[in-house]
Structure 1
Amino acid sequence: MAALSDYVSFGDPAKLYIEYMKRTEPYTMTIDHFHPYYEVYYLLSGSRIYFIEDRSYFVEQGDLVFIGKEMLHRTMQTGDARHERLILHFSDEWLRDLGAELSGMFGALFSPEIRVLRLPRQESLAAEASVRAMRLEADVRETGYHLAIRNAAASLLLLCGRYSASHQPEPFQHVSPLHAKISEIVRYINGHYDESLRLADLSERFFISPHYLSRMFKEVTGFAFTDYVVLTRVKEAQRLLRESELTVSAVAERVGFDNFSHFGKTFKKISSVSPREYRKSMSQF
């Protein structure tokens, strides 16, 4: 058999999508990342720091990371740059196709209590076998590979769902006291995005110098302070455009933008469409 590729992808995030990648050079996600589908991240080798919503997690070989819809997240390097991972994206539609019982079990994996799942050896070996089967099928693409990938993805989620249903999640521990402090600041931003959020004000509130706060915020979360605030506001604006009948200008004000023109430009830069276009596209579902 020919050597397998260092990068391979298959499918559509609107239903089911997988992507495998092996990296040997330093890498930190540079795109602003949240999306309307679920993500499972499996680390085959190496170690990473994974920031999700308001916390940073240390992820090592064999760990699974569960990221719900519209959750802001980013991976960052820690230690050796070399790592390989497979990500699995899927939609509510794909879950429903598996059946109501399984859909409910899988949905529970994306609760706040389960962000990183570290399985014992027997289950970990089975999980890795499913992940490597998906990678192989997507790369070689023999007859029936679509079905093989679907079955391997369902098997992985079933394994994780059964394990998490019968075991208490491990208590969360911050990577360091600094991570705990930044997490506290992020939770404040998440709860006050509709207010004025200046770096100087937060540095005073949390007793950290503005320069140090700016530098450590980026180091821990992967986001610049201002970028994180803007992304949080746009993410909430998207939710309001989908779920409410508020006017676009009212949405802008509700999420903390005091300039409507700036809101429109910022929203389009992040979402690739204007607020009105976004609302129209969402109304079709």
Structure 2
Amino acid sequence: MSSDKENNHALMFHVGPPFDMAYHNNVTNYPVGPHSHNATELYFTLTDLPDVLLGDTILAVPAGTLIIIPPFCVHQLYHEAGEQYERYILTIHDKWLDNVLCEGASAFCYIKEDSMPLLLFPDVEQKRELIRHFDELLSFMDNRTSPDSMVAFFSLLSDIHSLKMKTKKPHSMKVSASQKKVNDIISYLSEHLSENLTISDLAAQFYLNPDYLARLFKRHMHVSLGHYITLQRISAAQALLREGKTVREVQEYLGFSSYAYFFRTFQKVTGISPSNYRSMSIQ
């Protein structure tokens, strides 16, 4: 299945500083499609999100939820142009956190690469404290390496860690029947990324009409099936390159028809060539 041209933006965003903090409460003109980061993203939504993509799951997320998204996890949090979304966003380089905390960084395994996305549901008082911490950290963004900035950062991280530790079991999340079907399709795709699956193949697997399957997928994912498959294959390629696999090995393992096609697709999605990405990742 070939990638479409519906989104010309790079789908892998590189975060530069050790951490970054932002607050937005705006009407979106150009919602961001499925993408990933080279950092952990802590997304505190103050708006209900009806169709959130986190890895291989689509679900509804209520306002007041803290979403922890590990590095390189494909996600999409909002998608409607013309809608107002209010959120705080903290991005953290987990390798930087490892260097700062040394052995103590193991306590924060849930924000590391290869961990699963995590949803936390603070109560009213905990929400108030999180917002206070976020606002305090925002005030230091012009000098984020100052001692006061570091104190604010780790104070916020400590509160989030306490909230995580107090969460005894995961909350049941609202997933509609159609979202469940799309989740099943996503899981199947994740297990067969190296195969050149067509819509007809998937329709036969799930006993659905091909046109209906394509419409159902786009209704919840807000991108076409081909677009999503390309993004997931490149995300898998990034993981393999970080492990030290050669570009040729990754191209063949993921079933790209040629080295040149893989090279072009990787560079289009990430903004960097696979050879340069590999060199930067294994230094």
TM-score between the two structures when normalised by the length of structure 1 = 0.83
> Contact conserved, 1:109 with 1:161, CA < 8 A, in 2?
no
2:109 is matched by which residue type in structure 1? G
1:244 is matched by which residue type in structure 2? G
> Contact conserved, 1:47 with 1:78, CA < 8 A, in 2?
no
2:48 is matched by which residue type in structure 1? S
Q: CA deviation at 1:224?
A: 1.7
1:129 is matched by which residue type in structure 2? R
Match of 2:48? 47
1:130 is matched by which residue type in structure 2? H
CA RMSD of superposed structures (Å): 2.6
Match of 1:93? 95
2:196 is matched by which residue type in structure 1? S
From the superposition, tell whether residues 151 and 81 of structure 1 become closer, same or farther in structure 2 (CA, over 3 Å): farther
Task: Please say which of residues 157-166 and 224-233 is displaced more in the overlay.
Answer: 157-166
> Contact conserved, 1:26 with 1:77, CA < 8 A, in 2?
no
Asked if 1:120 corresponds to 2:123, the answer is yes
Match of 2:78? 76
Structure 1: distance between partners of 2:23 and 2:148: 16
From the superposition, tell whether residues 47 and 27 of structure 1 become closer, same or farther in structure 2 (CA, over 3 Å): farther
Match of 2:276? 277
TM-score between the two structures when normalised by the length of structure 2 = 0.83
> Contact conserved, 1:47 with 1:79, CA < 8 A, in 2?
no
**1:200-245 CA-partner distances (Å, limit 9, x unpaired):** 1101111222222212212222332101111111111222222134
Q: CA deviation at 1:77?
A: 4.3
Q: CA deviation at 1:36?
A: 1.9
Aligned pairs (5 A) from 1:92-241: 92-100=94-102, 103-108=105-110, 111-112=115-116, 115-138=118-141, 146-241=146-241
> Contact conserved, 2:32 with 2:79, CA < 8 A, in 1?
no
Asked if 1:15 corresponds to 2:18, the answer is yes
- Quick one: percent identity of the two aligned structures? 25
SS of aligned partner of 1:99: helix
2:118 is matched by which residue type in structure 1? R
From the superposition, tell whether residues 156 and 56 of structure 1 become closer, same or farther in structure 2 (CA, over 3 Å): farther
**1:54-90 CA-partner distances (Å, limit 9, x unpaired):** 1123233321110001100112247982222121111
**1:14-65 CA-partner distances (Å, limit 9, x unpaired):** 41112222212465313x511221110112x322232111112323332111
Task: Please say which of residues 230-239 and 76-85 is displaced more in the overlay.
Answer: 76-85
Structure 2 segments unaligned to the other structure (5+ residues): 1-14
Task: Please say which of residues 191-200 and 13-22 is displaced more in the overlay.
Answer: 13-22
Structure 1: distance between partners of 2:144 and 2:199: 54
Q: CA deviation at 1:192?
A: 0.7
> Contact conserved, 1:17 with 1:89, CA < 8 A, in 2?
yes
From the superposition, tell whether residues 102 and 163 of structure 1 become closer, same or farther in structure 2 (CA, over 3 Å): farther
From the superposition, tell whether residues 105 and 78 of structure 1 become closer, same or farther in structure 2 (CA, over 3 Å): farther
> Contact conserved, 1:18 with 1:87, CA < 8 A, in 2?
yes
From the superposition, tell whether residues 47 and 187 of structure 1 become closer, same or farther in structure 2 (CA, over 3 Å): same
Match of 2:6? none
Match of 1:3? none
> Contact conserved, 2:44 with 2:65, CA < 8 A, in 1?
yes
Match of 1:8? none
Match of 1:65? 67
Structure 2: distance between partners of 1:14 and 1:67: 17
Q: CA deviation at 1:109?
A: 5.1
SS of aligned partner of 1:196: coil
Structure 1: distance between partners of 2:220 and 2:212: 12
Asked if 1:255 corresponds to 2:254, the answer is yes
> Contact conserved, 1:51 with 1:222, CA < 8 A, in 2?
no
Structure 2: distance between partners of 1:160 and 1:279: 33
